[in-house]
Amino acid sequence: MPTSPTTLFADERAGSIYRTAARIIYTKGFEAASMSEIAKAVDLTKAGLYYYVKGKGELLFAIMSFAMDLLDREVIAPAQRIGDPGERLRAIVEEHSRLLTYDEGALVILMDEVGSLSPEHRSRITERKRSYFEFVRDTLDELAAAGRLHAVDTTVAAFSLLGMVMWLARWYAPGGRLAAREVVRDITEIALRGVLREGRPEAVSAASSAVYSEEVLS
Amino acid sequence: MPTSPTTLFADERAGSIYRTAARIIYTKGFEAASMSEIAKAVDLTKAGLYYYVKGKGELLFAIMSFAMDLLDREVIAPAQRIGDPGERLRAIVEEHSRLLTYDEGALVILMDEVGSLSPEHRSRITERKRSYFEFVRDTLDELAAAGRLHAVDTTVAAFSLLGMVMWLARWYAPGGRLAAREVVRDITEIALRGVLREGRPEAVSAASSAVYSEEVLS
DNA sequence: GAGAACTTACCGGCCGGTAAGTCAGCCGAA
DNA sequence: TTCGGCTGACTTACCGGCCGGTAAGTTCTC
């Protein structure tokens, strides 16, 4: 279905606005980032920016929804197709970590700025996050029922694993001396080993100490 | 050494101002929290608040310094006195987690709002955080040298463990279904099992849970 | 009466947001 | 082929309000 040139341009422009806004909000925080600043970054006046977005709150909500869609598509949906709960857990940790090494803001905003949303928007985002959390915990429950989990509360375990993964966004600097692939693999190993009883088959583990480098403390 | 009543009163007042400010900033975020709001919460006008604090930035820095002092006193210093690196790591994770279940804001602000500090203040806080991080990583290096660690990069491992612990502040609600003691114990087990090769001596963990029998009330 | 502990009243500035105007380019009609 | 109108994509100019911060005065205690 072809779109008219003007509309296509508008869509591309809108996309670049959201991406730029995400980067700025991610860097400075939502409250500290001003609409004028975002407008200037996309070569518009503030009023010009308001032609595209309804308001600051709507902008934040749009970015978060985009991030949630990304998480759904890249992590949750693929994992849901995996039958074995152990492999499913591994896929979740691995893909979520990998996504965070790519990301340039949206996923971090999703984690950090829920408090800045309006009540209605907040409840919609929180609902999607809860459903993700429950997906992880259900997977852990399945493992526990099969006797494959160490004796820990699955709620605590789910939060801990997700926390470990999400923290990645706080410290990992792409382009630094730590390669994304090794980081993702190490995190996955630490996470799974933390909760799973089984001594997993780890053939790849030996090649671990390849190109490691410096990291950034925020 | 006795303090004069007025000074004592001022100190107590100052203390309660910092505590209240920490709670508000923790709840709404630094940028979203206004000085008038903080003033009102301590039954002062904004100008009255400025009698005690030099400015918003100084207030944030003071709260973070307090949090860092707390971390030093309750986690780092005791751990530094432990010879065995395995027990030292356990103490770090356990005590840091425990501290987070008590905390009413300061430690979370320390983690989340570094970006709002002035460059000078930021570098001073970041330096202390780096030193803590390196303490943890050095402990992991020690374990690795003794062959007691799984084959993962110690930098990634240190960030992952700390991330898991710090995430606790994001989700744990005191007074809920999960008792602080069990949460701390489970997190410690997941963390240590994630990186340590050894099947740990469980006797130590049983003894340590007896020490921390005090209940969290807030 | 001196100093600590405030309050009242105000400042300039930036905030999110908007009303109204501009202007390029496409449209159908003459 | 030209013309008038229409619309999408903006800009200029402005709004009230709250922000961090302060000068100057007041009250209370010793």
- Output the distance from A65 CA to C18 C1' rounded to whole Å: 27
Q: Do B163 and A170 touch (CB under 8 A)?
A: yes
Measured between CB atoms, does A31 come within 8 Å of chain B? yes
Q: Do B162 and A167 touch (CB under 8 A)?
A: yes
Over residues A24-54, the pLDDT tens digits come to 999 999 999 999 999 999 999 999 999 999 9
Q: Is position A56 within any domain?
A: no
B87 beta carbon to strand D: under 7 Å: no
- Give the distance, in angstroms, between the CA of residue A127 and the centroid of all CA atoms in the same chain: 16
What values do phi and psi take at B108, rounded to 5? -70, -40
Q: Which residue of A has its CA nearest to B195?
A: A190
Residues 36 through 95 of chain A touching chain B, CB cutoff 8 Å = none
State mean pLDDT over B37-55.
Answer: 92
DSSP string, A121-188: HHHHHHHHHHHHHHHHHHHHHHHHHTT-B-SS-HHHHHHHHHHHHHHHHHH--TTSSS-HHHHHHHHH
Kindly indicate the confidence band of residue A65, based on its pLDDT and cuts at 50, 70 and 90.
Answer: very high
A44 beta carbon to strand D: under 7 Å: yes
Minimum mean pLDDT range among A101-105, B1-5, B18-22, B54-58: B1-5
Over residues B109-133, the pLDDT tens digits come to 999 999 999 999 999 999 999 999 9
Over residues A82-122, the pLDDT tens digits come to 999 999 999 999 999 999 998 767 898 999 999 999 999 99
- Output the distance from B41 CA to D25 C1' rounded to whole Å: 24
* Token pair of B186 as six digits: 């489970």
Q: Do A189 and B153 touch (CB under 8 A)?
A: no
- Residue entry with tokens 């065995």: B84
Q: Is position A101 within any domain?
A: yes
Q: Is position A42 within any domain?
A: no
Pairwise CA distance, residues A187 & A182, whole Å: 8
Q: What is the CATH number of the domain that holds B126?
A: 1.10.357.10
| Of residues A48 and A200, more confidently modeled | A48
State mean pLDDT over A171-175.
Answer: 91
* Whole-number Cα distances in Å, B147 to A133, A198, A202, B152: 35, 21, 18, 12
Terminal-residue alpha carbon distance, chain B: 31
Nucleotides of strand D lying closer than 7 angstroms to a protein CB: 8-14, 18-24, 30
Count of domains for chain B: 1
pLDDT of B210 reads: 35
Amino acid at site A100: L
Q: Is position B211 within any domain?
A: yes
Q: Round the average pLDDT of chain B to a whole number and report it.
A: 86
Residues of A with Cβ-Cβ distance to B32 under 8 angstroms: 31, 115-116
Which residues form the domain of A178? 63-216
Q: Is position A135 within any domain?
A: yes
Q: Is position B75 within any domain?
A: yes
Residues 1-30 of A with CB under 7 A from strand D: 6-7, 9-10, 13
* Residue of A116, A171, A191 lying closest to B194 (CB–CB): A191
Over residues B27-44, the pLDDT tens digits come to 999 999 999 999 999 999
Kindly indicate the confidence band of residue A218, based on its pLDDT and cuts at 50, 70 and 90.
Answer: low
Question: What DSSP state is assigned to residue B103?
Answer: -
Q: Is position A76 within any domain?
A: yes
Q: Is position B91 within any domain?
A: yes
pLDDT of A199 reads: 64
Residues of B with Cβ-Cβ distance to A32 under 8 angstroms: 31, 115-116
Pairwise CA distance, residues B51 & B45, whole Å: 10
